[in-house]
């Protein structure tokens, strides 16, 4: 597990396509929770399947011994912009704002930017390494394409009422 970790209000595990990748992210989030990096685990992602990614992660986290009271789930977000917005909503309702983000290495810079724009403080990041150079190159291209769209959405949303 690569990344910077420090005390945070919550560990945020971002959803993704593919059960194996989702499990790798969740395992890192659970390990961080177990060592006391934060008292809450936020599982974020609706996904496109019949069961939201966050719900799949919630079930797995409970099966791995995480108390249900330590879990917050966001089952409505469909992308990183919405992950940030919904996580900020869930945490601000509890007076919390610092997060430790868990995602793939190439996704973390954009995710951190969007979470900051949503009003959250990034206390740390934990990266899931790419399984191959080919996958990492593909992920980098997706991030390059996604960044302008994400910034446009954040700019449009932030100029309107909250």
Digit-coded pLDDT (tens) for 64-84: 999 999 999 999 999 999 999
Going from the N-terminus, what domains does the chain have, and what CATH number goes with each?
Answer: 2-159 (3.40.50.620)
* pTM recorded for the entire structure: 0.82
User: Judging by DSSP bridges, how do beta strands 121-128 and 2-4 pair with one another?
Assistant: antiparallel
Residue 119 is given by DSSP the state T
What does the mean pLDDT of the chain come to?
86
Does the pLDDT value for residue 40 go beyond 90? yes
Does the pLDDT value for residue 150 go beyond 80? no
Supply 159's token pair.
């100029």
What integer is the mean pLDDT of 124-142?
71
Does the pLDDT value for residue 136 go beyond 70? no
Cα(144)–Cα(61) distance, integer angstroms: 32
**Dihedral (CA of 80, 35, 2, 16) sign:** negative
């Amino acid at each position: 597990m690569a990344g910077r970790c420090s005390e945070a209000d919550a560990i945020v595990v971002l959803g993704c396509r593919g059960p194996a990748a989702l499990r790798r992210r969740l395992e890192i989030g659970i390990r961080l929770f177990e060592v006391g990096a934060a008292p809450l685990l936020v599982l974020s992602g609706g996904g496109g399947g019949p069961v939201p990614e966050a719900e799949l992660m919630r079930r797995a986290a409970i099966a791995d011994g995480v108390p249900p009271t330590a879990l917050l789930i966001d089952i409505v977000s469909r992308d990183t912009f919405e992950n940030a917005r919904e996580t900020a909503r869930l945490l601000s309702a509890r007076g919390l704002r610092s997060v430790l983000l868990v995602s793939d290495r190439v996704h973390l810079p954009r995710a951190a930017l969007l979470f900051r724009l949503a009003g959250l403080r990034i206390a740390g990041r934990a990266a899931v390494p790419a399984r191959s150079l080919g996958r990492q190159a593909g992920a980098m291209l997706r991030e390059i394409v996604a960044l302008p769209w994400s910034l446009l959405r954040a700019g449009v949303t932030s100029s309107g009422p909250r």
